[in-house]
Chains A and B, each alone.
Chain A
């Protein structure tokens, strides 16, 4: 049996994992007990009932303020939820709403029809690929790096990312998060990560993990071969997801990585493989006058259908060229919407953008 070791480990620990998980009310109660260890009765019954009522209403930030006001032992209040700081200068154009629903099979057929016009970029020795990502996340909490803007859709965090990539192995050499250099952030292990990635590429050569522009032309051109290539072997697959899910996730990462270099025949074969997936939907988006095709894949982890939020994953394609233009996701909760647009350029050195 392929996974007998994993089965043995799960069986060994099974009794431990059968206990029901605590509720959020349990967590809040435990927190209040931990801060007032000798004063379990210090929280009036009335106050706790009010807390639970507010939790049910979703007004969690109000709960925390109430908690802070009523700490009976005079201890400092827990960290408050800070109010988001709108930044007038931040550009927040997305996420873009759907302009119209599309049939996913037809949408992919249309992209396949224009795919031959997407001529791969050429790169000279020593040049790097510059990738610019502008993303928008609908969520209320600031992270201290990305600006936020209030929009009709909600508080949007604007994520501006610039990446410089060595096309030989698609190894990321540098990353800017807005004006913040991610390679020098505290606890960043950047240099070691790059060295590890280069060593791995040198040892193993080009692969789907570490492609090169030249190597891409050796890849399959039929849907069946792409499906096989993008499906991990059984021992590496998670039991949570179907093969279609794995293929979608791997295609997403792959296209994000290599789209500017992908030759036409390989692009067509890959898009044909995507069109054979289940759980697809599509929509047209008007991104400031540019027509984009959103292709979406939706699946709940196996066994959880209908019991928890599902994240729908999204790839955006340029309707005119068939190239990948961005990506994102949609959750069943309002704060889960994320969308980003990607642009690519060949530049001479890390740090260049033009």
Chain B
């Protein structure tokens, strides 16, 4: 029997029997209105976290309409419908990458989120309340390579599992694990920096 260390290392890779081909899946695109009922809210939350709530509405609408247009390309062997939808949404987020990064950099500088509609009074309060920690985290997020940011936010906000992230982004499971590890290492470094004051 393996040692605890060996078993631990295996768990770190995710306990999945299939390394690069997801075999049996449980859904197909089907009716898009029903899909929206099932996944629309969570996709909106994810898109809003990346590009703000205003742009997220357009992104979510575009995601489901593209999903319907391209439903013939959905491959149940490669992932779930949920992962497929997150993959479409993430590609749409990439088109607004400059806005996403600009927003994070503004938060890092000023403590104010330019992608959230607020009154002037609320912005003044945000500026005063913004901590060194939140600014450091915003800066670290802005500096992440695109893939690491994708993986981190699919894990942290969308709460997808490793295999789902791999299917969404069309990358191997090992790449998900290494990208997530690197991204989290940088965020933790930012937290340590912030705690030094």
Q: Is the beta-carbon distance between A232 and B15 smaller than 8 angstroms?
A: yes
A6 within 8 A of B: yes
Contact indicator per residue, chain A 3-15, by CB within 8 Å of chain B (1) or not (0): 0111011111101
The distance in angstroms between the C-alpha atoms of A196 and B188, with both chains bound, is 28
Q: How far is the CB of B51 from chain A (nearest CB, A)?
A: 8
Q: Is the beta-carbon distance between B21 and A12 smaller than 8 angstroms?
A: no
Q: How far is the CB of A244 from chain B (nearest CB, A)?
A: 14
Q: Is the beta-carbon distance between B34 and A333 smaller than 8 angstroms?
A: yes
B1 neighbours in A (Cβ, 8 Å): 218-220, 225
A336 neighbours in B (Cβ, 8 Å): 26-27
Q: Is the beta-carbon distance between B13 and A233 smaller than 8 angstroms?
A: no
Q: How far is the CB of A3 from chain B (nearest CB, A)?
A: 9
Chain B residues 1 to 45 lying within 8 A of chain A, measured CB to CB, are 1-2, 7-21, 23-34, 36-38, 40-41, 44-45
B152 within 8 A of A: yes
B146 within 8 A of A: no
Q: Is the beta-carbon distance between A338 and B69 smaller than 8 angstroms?
A: no
Q: Is the beta-carbon distance between A6 and B8 smaller than 8 angstroms?
A: no
Q: Which residue of A lies closest to B80 (CB)?
A: A311
B23 neighbours in A (Cβ, 8 Å): 133, 161, 163, 256
Given contacts A22-B40, A31-B61, contact A230 B15 (CB under 8 A): yes
Chain A residues 181 to 222 lying within 8 A of chain B, measured CB to CB, are 182, 187, 189, 193-194, 196-197, 200-201, 204, 207-211, 218-220
A196 neighbours in B (Cβ, 8 Å): 19-20, 172, 174-175
Q: How far is the CB of B127 from chain A (nearest CB, A)?
A: 14
Chain A residues 233 to 269 lying within 8 A of chain B, measured CB to CB, are 233, 236, 238-240, 250, 253-254, 256-258
A135 within 8 A of B: yes
B91 neighbours in A (Cβ, 8 Å): none
Q: Is the beta-carbon distance between A141 and B184 smaller than 8 angstroms?
A: no
Q: How far is the CB of B58 from chain A (nearest CB, A)?
A: 7
Q: Is the beta-carbon distance between A141 and B60 smaller than 8 angstroms?
A: no
Q: How far is the CB of B197 from chain A (nearest CB, A)?
A: 16
Q: Interface size (A, Cβ < 8 Å)?
A: 93
Q: How far is the CB of B146 from chain A (nearest CB, A)?
A: 16
Main secondary structure of the interface of B (DSSP, over half): helix
Contact indicator per residue, chain B 154-179, by CB within 8 Å of chain A (1) or not (0): 01110111100000001011110000
Main secondary structure of the interface of A (DSSP, over half): mixed
B56 within 8 A of A: yes
Q: Is the beta-carbon distance between A257 and B18 smaller than 8 angstroms?
A: yes
Q: Is the beta-carbon distance between A13 and B72 smaller than 8 angstroms?
A: no
Given contacts A11-B134, A60-B32, contact A311 B26 (CB under 8 A): yes
A229 within 8 A of B: yes
Q: Is the beta-carbon distance between B187 and A139 smaller than 8 angstroms?
A: no
A321 within 8 A of B: no
Given contacts A24-B36, A27-B61, contact A139 B30 (CB under 8 A): yes
Q: Is the beta-carbon distance between B18 and A218 smaller than 8 angstroms?
A: no
The distance in angstroms between the C-alpha atoms of A311 and B12, with both chains bound, is 26
Given contacts A9-B137, A16-B53, A27-B60, contact A141 B26 (CB under 8 A): no
Q: How far is the CB of B128 from chain A (nearest CB, A)?
A: 15
Q: Is the beta-carbon distance between A21 and B41 smaller than 8 angstroms?
A: yes
| B: interface residue count bin | 35 or more
Contact indicator per residue, chain B 121-144, by CB within 8 Å of chain A (1) or not (0): 000000000000110011001000
Q: Is the beta-carbon distance between A200 and B174 smaller than 8 angstroms?
A: yes
Among A106-114, A170-178, A272-280, A281-289, the one that faces the other chain is A170-178
B27 neighbours in A (Cβ, 8 Å): 137, 139, 311, 329, 331, 336, 338
The distance in angstroms between the C-alpha atoms of A175 and B20, with both chains bound, is 12
A17 within 8 A of B: yes
A142 within 8 A of B: yes
B36 neighbours in A (Cβ, 8 Å): 24, 27
B83 neighbours in A (Cβ, 8 Å): none
Q: Is the beta-carbon distance between A55 and B33 smaller than 8 angstroms?
A: yes
A30 within 8 A of B: yes
Q: Which residue of B lies closest to A198 (CB)?
A: B19
Q: Is the beta-carbon distance between A79 and B34 smaller than 8 angstroms?
A: no
A189 neighbours in B (Cβ, 8 Å): 170
Q: Is the beta-carbon distance between A8 and B61 smaller than 8 angstroms?
A: no
Q: Can you list 20 residue pairs at the A/B interface with Cβ under 8 Å?
A: A5-B184, A5-B187, A9-B137, A9-B157, A12-B137, A12-B141, A16-B52, A16-B115, A17-B49, A24-B40, A60-B33, A139-B27, A143-B75, A161-B77, A170-B19, A196-B19, A233-B8, A233-B11, A238-B160, A238-B161
Known pairs A133-B23, A233-B12; list 18 more (Cβ under 8 Å). Answer: A8-B191, A12-B107, A16-B56, A17-B157, A21-B45, A24-B36, A30-B57, A30-B58, A60-B31, A159-B76, A170-B17, A177-B75, A204-B13, A228-B7, A232-B15, A309-B38, A328-B24, A338-B25
